[in-house]
Structure 1
Amino acid sequence: MDGPLLGPDERLGTAIRTSAIPAGPAEFFADLGNMTVALPVLALTLAYVTWRTRHWLAAVTAIVTMALVPALVAPLQSWLARPGPPPMAPETGFYPSGHTATAAVAYGLCVLLLREAHRARAAAYGCVVVNAAVGLGLVRQGYHWPVDVIGSWCLAALLLYCAAYAISRSTRRSSSGTPSC
């Protein structure tokens, strides 16, 4: 692998891995990107918001969006075959970060769904902080390079933008008298 971002990415990743950030909290936040954590949080949010609003199309949109994460990340990781940081090297398939994408999309969808139900702005700020901590934790623990995390945030932003559009259209339709799913 080569390119203009490789040197700065490796220097920043090494600086974060060798920093004074405590390993315990870093591992905790890195684990928030696991599907075994993020998917139940999303499922509970889906159940609550669907029960409260009766907007089934928003739930379907969220499920499809979340299903797109592994469907997009796994082929990209295989195709790009980027090696991981020193603890993981020479293994490949680290770009984009699946854990980062899972966390960003799952928790981002929770915010979108709660926004429609409650207009909760604090949840959006919390989502940004949690996802920043997940990314930092993944780099600190040596699971990913910083660019792996940033690439996943870009992918998540695209998916969440599309989901937000679809969810807002579905709730607008159902509130205007048009039957919803």
Structure 2
Amino acid sequence: MRTDIFARLDREPEPPKIEIPRMSRTRLALFGGTSAFYAAIVVAVLASTWLVALDWKLMLFRPYEQWPEQHAFLDYFVVLGQRGPTAVMVAAWLGWRSWRQHTLRPLLALGAALLLLNLTVGAVKIGLGRLGPHYATQIGSAEMFAGGDIFPSGHTANAVVTWGILAYLATTPRARRYLSALSAVVSLGVGLTTVYLGTHWLSDVLLGWAAGLLILLALPWCEPLIGRAEAWILDLRDRWRSRRALTPSRPVAAGGPRPGLVPQRDPAPQPEGGAPHEPVAVAGTAAARPSGSAATTRTATHSSPRAHAMRSERSPVTPTGSRRPPHSRPPVGG
């Protein structure tokens, strides 16, 4: 029995039609507003404006020293923004959704979102090279282009994308509202937790929220590519099944003879008097077919059974011949 996900897709009942989000005017307006906010945060940090001063005030305040009793819990809570654990948890849920909905779209949408996240956030991190609060060298400085990689906050952006994808893929308005509220609370909590622990500036978190939201808003542009990828994977699955169905059930050793049908004829009726049957010819290969007198002897050996003679009529036979002396006639006239 097949237990792969494709076999389960075939056995499940057909789900209701799933509506795929489109790039509406509202979504376009949100995308434009979030892009402007993203650019404003980058400019404010590059220009060392009041936002950088606020970053330093929060850093010198050291929230983890003001409320140390929350430190142990928030050390575990921030894991909800780490890419590895969250990707595994969300992929498990979306894999079950793929089984129930007869489509690979949930898993492919998650893969596309994580790919965009790694490309966009990773490129900005490396390009701007900002140092984190624990590695800052000069008070009041933006710490840009110093070889760091914390701007924007990867934990925050990842929390927005991985938990927000659940709301993006929701099939009912009610589920979408609940999942949107849940993802917003988790992503806000993860971002503020990194500020509490002193691993990120506040501006890092603001840019991480904007970066994750931009990816979610841009996903409808990826839907045609996701549809083509799903069709290609399912077509590859069908071709693999066809080749597997044509594979012989019993493999044949390399160079060995292939099994074939051996035609046989019904044995001829036995004549009266106990005469032996004529030898039955068996179809075979030319190499296995004996020739000459050896062929006659070998064929007679394997001929059909005949009537047995009485024991008194048998002549004892030795490897050199019969032990009975030859019959001699008396001479004529003797």
Identity of counterpart residues, as a percentage? 26
Change (3 A) 1:48 1:14: farther
What's the secondary structure of 2:152's corresponding residue?
coil
Deviates more, 1:50-59 or 1:32-41: 50-59
2:140 paired with 1:99: no
2:108 equivalent in structure 1: 60
Q: Quick check: 1:20 aligned with 2:47?
A: no
SS at match of 1:116: coil
User: Which of 50, 53, 57 in structure 2 is aligned with 1:11?
Assistant: 57
Equivalent-residue separation in structure 1 for 2:195 and 2:112 (angstroms): 28
1:104-127: CA deviation from partner (whole Å, max 9, x where unpaired): 1111112222x1268413222111
Match of 1:135 in 2: 191
**Number of the residue aligned with 1:44:** 92
CA distance in 2, matches of 1:7, 1:144: 14
Deviations 1:73-107 (A, max 9, x none): 2221111011101x244672110111111111111
User: Aligned equivalents of 2:157 and 2:211: distance in 1?
Assistant: 7
Residue 124 of structure 2 aligns with an amino acid whose one-letter code is L
SS of the aligned residue for 1:28 comes to helix
Runs (5+) with no aligned partner, structure 2:
1-45, 138-146, 232-334
Conservation of the 8 A alpha-carbon contact between 1:77 and 1:95: yes
* Greater helix share, structure number: 1
Q: Give the structure, 1 or 2, with the largest relative contact order (CA under 8 Å, sep 6 or more).
A: 1
Q: Is the 8 A contact 2:164 2:179 kept in 1?
A: no
Scaled by the length of structure 2, the TM-score of the pair is 0.46
Q: CA deviation at 1:56?
A: 2.4
Matched ranges for 1:101-116 at <5 A: 101-113=157-169, 115-116=170-171
Q: Which runs of 5+ in 1 are unaligned?
A: 175-179
Distance change in 2, residues 1:23/1:152 (3 Å) = same
d(CA) in 1 for partners of 2:153, 2:52: 16
Alignment partner, residue 236 of structure 2? none
Contact 1:105 1:156 in 2 (8 A): yes
1:38 maps to a residue whose letter is T
| 1:61-82 alpha-carbon deviations (Å, 9 max, x no partner) | 2211111112122221111011
- For 1:166 and 1:75, locate their aligned partners in 2 and report how far apart those are by CA, in whole Å: 21
Distance 1:11 1:18, change over 3 A: farther
1:26 shift after superposition: 1.8
**2:128 pairs with 1:80:** yes
Contact kept? 1:29, 1:130, Cα under 8 Å = no
Task: Tell me which residue corresponds to 1:177.
Answer: none
Q: Which amino acid aligns with 1:3?
A: S
Give the length in aligned residue pairs.
169
CA contact (8 A) 1:18 1:140 kept: no
Q: TM-score of the superposition, structure 1-length normalised?
A: 0.80
Q: Answer yes or no: is the 8 Å Cα contact 2:124–2:152 preserved in 1.
A: yes
1:12 alignment partner AA: L
Structure 1 residue runs of 4 or more that deviate by more than 4 Å after TM superposition: none
Specify the alignment match of 1:150 in structure 2.
Answer: 206
| Residues 120-131 of structure 1 mapped to structure 2, 5 A cutoff | 120=175, 121-131=177-187
CA root-mean-square deviation: 2.5
